[in-house]
Copies of this chain bind each other. A is one copy, B any other.
Amino acid sequence: MPKQKVDEQYIIIQSLILFRQRSFHSTSMSDIAKACGILKGSLYHYFKSKEELMEKVIRYVHQYFKVEVFAKAYEENIPANQRFKNMMKASEKIFFDASTGKMYGNMGVESALVIPEFNPIIREFFQDFFNAIKHIYADKYAEEIANELAERSVAEVEGSIMMSRVFNDKSYIKNTHKRLLSRIEKSTEKQEKLSDSIV
């Protein structure tokens, strides 16, 4: 068995897995150390506190989303609706655990709700999410509308992730993705105002 290469990133990923499964408060430093194959005390060589570790975990997820999800919004050679699909597909992969069939929540958000210290970090995440969506909508809608739609979309997505998690039923988030997509696909020309009907 090759000696496990334990480095900061490895610990972050193991922590991420645990925090997602059992939340910040229900995961002890001991659990994390065990998952990494090192001892509790050794964690403090990499992170000066559990909070700092959590912060890095959230930043890691943020970075992951930036590269794997949000980036898809800016691949200008691809049509808007396809870019949107790509984003959704990439993000769905993150929230489902294929092996257990269980939904993960947005660990960062959940932590921010419970530990206000993480609020600023999570705001950055939302800001990037918002920007990505807005960028796509801006293809079809005027700035102000795109703005409003993006804000709303982020809320819808987050709300439906929560619903999917509480009911352990993917359909909430899947339906939301579909609906968001249709807002792009159905608007053939750049629109200046929101119509009165319902999507």
Contacts and interface: CB of A to CB of B under 8 A. Distances in A.
Interface residues of A, number: 46
A179 B183 CA distance: 16
A110 interface: yes
Dominant secondary structure of chain A at its interface with chain B = helix
- Give how many copies assemble into the complex: 4
Given A23-B114, A197-B198, 12 more contacts: A23-B115, A25-B114, A110-B110, A123-B166, A151-B172, A152-B156, A152-B175, A155-B163, A156-B159, A158-B159, A194-B197, A196-B199
B176 A152 contact: yes
Nearest to A167: B123
A77 B17 CA distance: 52
Interface string A121-156: 011001000000000000000000000110110111
